[in-house]
Amino acid sequence: MSAARQRAHVAQLPGLATIDPALQCDLLRLRGVLILLAARQGSKLAVAAACVAELKSDAFKISVRSVYRWRDRYLRFGFAGLRRKARIDSGYPRRFGEAVMMAMVDAAVRLGPRGNVAREFRRLRPGVCYGSFRLWVRRLQAEFLVTKRRGESDVLLLR
């Protein structure tokens, strides 16, 4: 959250100046949900639109549908449902194709823990930057144990 957005939140919630900005966002969501829950039947859409207009003035990017989603999550999970969730695919590459990932797995198997990643990168030319290649090769080596068994090719085992 930018400093300007944080100052806007602090101005709106002066008693909460010293708390975490993520918690401030959760409290603003809770405020919108509680206002929506307290609204009379038939006026909920207008109340949700007013909440959106107020929160958009604080540089939030929300819609009326967002307020309804917050309400539904609040009713199902309580305050914990309003927290922003991490992406399910966090920590995994989103731009690599299958061929690039297979090249990285192959490099991780062949190199071993002390192998020359730069030489392997130059040989494969995988289509990603060297930093990403090195990071993923080392991460794969840390996640999997590469072993050789008699009469078999390399075997990947989870650590």
- Contact in structure between 82 and 70 (CB atoms under 8 Å): yes
The confidence score (pLDDT) of residue 147 equals 56
Q: What is the mean pLDDT of the chain?
A: 77
Over 60: is that where the pLDDT of 84 sits? yes
The confidence score (pLDDT) of residue 62 equals 85
Over 60: is that where the pLDDT of 121 sits? yes
The confidence score (pLDDT) of residue 14 equals 57
Over 60: is that where the pLDDT of 66 sits? yes
Tell me which amino acid residue 68 is.
Answer: Y
- Contact in structure between 21 and 1 (CB atoms under 8 Å): yes
The confidence score (pLDDT) of residue 76 equals 93
Over 70: is that where the pLDDT of 107 sits? yes
- Contact in structure between 115 and 140 (CB atoms under 8 Å): no
The confidence score (pLDDT) of residue 10 equals 47
Pairwise CA distance, residues 49 & 140, whole Å: 48
The confidence score (pLDDT) of residue 72 equals 93
Mean pLDDT of the region 104-132:
83
What are the domain boundaries of the chain? 3-82, 98-158
If you count them, how many residues does the chain have? 159
Mean pLDDT of the region 43-48:
88
Mean pLDDT of the region 132-149:
76
Mean pLDDT of the region 132-141:
85
